[in-house]
Amino acid sequence: MEVLAGDIGGTNTRLALYRIEENRPGEALLESTYPSRNFDSLEAILDDFSEHFSWRIQRACFGIAGPVVNQSCETTNLPWKITARAITDRFGFDDTWLINDLEANAWGISALSPKDFHLLNPGRADQPGNASIVSAGTGLGEAGLYWDGSVHRPFSSEGGHTDFSPSNELEFALYQTLAEKYGHVSWERLVSGPGLEAIHSFLRTYRRTPTPGWLKQEMHKLGGAPAISNAAMARKDPICDEALNLFIHLYGREAGNHALKIMASSGVYLGGGIAPRILQRLKQPIFLKAFFDKGRMRHLMEAIPVKVILNDRAALLGAARYAAIQ
């Protein structure tokens, strides 16, 4: 059986065709990546992708960055409305499913191998229980994996849109700056690619330090967040360095918040495109110090394994696996 899997993000849309063997996706038969904002709908991307294969697709599943309600989704960072019924009718699939992109990532975890992870905190690896996945990229996605006594069962959330809470004077000044601009300040406003840019911009003003010309050129060429993180990783600019450290601190705080809320005793996974790119900095104490810093619950936090997902196809594999087992 062939299934079509999709990872629909605010920056890129990745599609892959998989042959399913024993309810698991094998090697991709075909895979393509599209810049999401160059298209006015998912259907337009599927039109292009479908020109490149002749297999009959029985099932399709798409992990989408946005809340999925009754198999319909208005994407958070794109002006798209996606419905499973419209896709099924237009492309002739037997079945189509829409799931949240972080739920797709969660389904993909079991399809990965040990080399697809980097261990940040060993914790207690033998603990059964729930797990958490928190992914910073274009936005901030959060999902859980409920332990039913035998297997983990993924579920979605929109936890990245909950209220950001500053914990010191600097963070409160940052909060005030963003509140003036957006009104509501969520964790996603800070722990994401655009969030890193917002932190950097705030610090330039707060520290009264203008952006150097070379960095402006890099930001124009690469985009804001990649240029800032590259400069920080290379220790080329102190404001970029401070911005990345604050970003990582906030990432650790919110990953810890989510872990506590769902009692993720068996593990926390960091997904998304940012974590692998800043892995060397994540290995430093900043992230785990913030993750552990939960007052009387510190002992629980220290026992939770924390892993970075290195395989950027986790959501695709998860969407394919979801379609296979329905």
pLDDT digits (tens, 9 = 90+) for 17-38: 998 887 778 788 899 999 999 9
Q: How confident is the model at residue 118 (pLDDT cuts 50, 70, 90)?
A: very high
C-alpha 269/C-alpha 57 separation (Å) is 31
| Per-residue model confidence (pLDDT) at position 326 | 84
| Per-residue model confidence (pLDDT) at position 114 | 94
| Per-residue model confidence (pLDDT) at position 27 | 82
pLDDT digits (tens, 9 = 90+) for 259-270: 999 999 999 999
Q: Which pTM was predicted?
A: 0.92
Q: Taking all residues of the chain, what is their mean pLDDT, rounded to a whole number?
A: 95
C-alpha 22/C-alpha 99 separation (Å) is 22
pLDDT digits (tens, 9 = 90+) for 140-183: 999 999 999 999 999 999 999 999 999 999 999 999 999 999 99
Report how far apart, in Å, the C-alpha atoms of 103 and of each of 108, 150, 168, 257 are: 9, 19, 33, 18
| Single-letter amino acid, residue 128 | P
Mean pLDDT of 121-138: 94
Tokens of 193: 């690619």
| Per-residue model confidence (pLDDT) at position 22 | 76
Q: Among 17-21, 226-230, 235-239, which stretch is predicted with the lowest mean pLDDT?
A: 17-21
Q: Domains of the chain, with CATH numbers?
A: 2-108+313-325 (3.30.420.40), 113-310 (3.40.367.20)
**Side-chain half-sphere CA neighbours of 58 within 13 A:** 10
Top-confidence residue, 125 or 251 = 251
The residue written with tokens 């989510």 in the block is: 258
| Per-residue model confidence (pLDDT) at position 149 | 94
Q: How confident is the model at residue 241 (pLDDT cuts 50, 70, 90)?
A: very high
The residue written with tokens 């722990």 in the block is: 191
